[in-house]
Amino acid sequence: MIMPRGQPLLLPASPGFIWGSLLAALMLDLLPLGRVLWMPDFLAVVLVFWSIHQPRRVGLTAAFAFGLMLDVHQASLLGQHALAYTVLIYFAIMAHRRILWFSVPGQALQLLPLFAAAHAIAIVLRLIGGAEFPGWQVLLAPALESALWPIIGALLLAPQRRAPNPDANRPL
């Protein structure tokens, strides 16, 4: 793939850093914050980030496994988050080459429908399971996830932007 003009070359992502960031996002989602429905799903944002930037390392299996872990922790329908994350990651991988050509705010706008679809899948599965509608404030979560995209991107790409052997003559 030809890099767009002005973009720096990135170092390869460390597998330990990738899986560590996914586990950190899972821990953020496991925090006991009560019934805050508009809270963004940090794990979904980090899963989408790595499936766009490293689709061969983070894919549908990781999304399914993390979704099952979240289902067990939240005592929700088994497979609810797993299905939502799997669909989300599938469409993120399908569009990862196109999404990378946009600027970071453009990427956030492109991902807003994907985040909304993942939340819609989870809500529909809850409603089928007999739960009541959680309210309209749940629509804030996809918007917050899209707003988090530039921050998460800057944090997760920072280790890849450093020079492998920095010196005074080659400030990469």
Both tokens of 37, joined, read: 């429905």
4 occurs within a structural domain = no
pTM of the entire predicted model: 0.85
121 occurs within a structural domain = yes
90 occurs within a structural domain = yes
125 occurs within a structural domain = yes
1 occurs within a structural domain = no
Within the chain, residue ranges assigned H as helices are 15-29, 42-53, 60-74, 80-94, 96-99, 104-128, 140-157
44 occurs within a structural domain = yes
Task: Identify the helix (H) or strand (E) that includes residue 24.
Answer: helix 15-29
Quote the pLDDT of residue 155: 92
Contact 71/26 with Cβ under 8 angstroms? no
77 occurs within a structural domain = yes
Q: Look up the domain containing 126 and give its range.
A: 39-159
In tens digits, the chain (172 residues) has pLDDT values of 555 566 666 777 888 999 999 999 999 988 887 666 678 889 999 999 999 998 888 889 999 999 999 989 888 788 889 999 999 999 999 998 899 889 999 999 999 999 999 999 999 998 998 888 888 888 899 999 999 999 999 999 887 776 666 666 655 5
Give CA–CA dist 139/120, Å, rounded.
Answer: 9
- Number of domains the chain is built from: 1
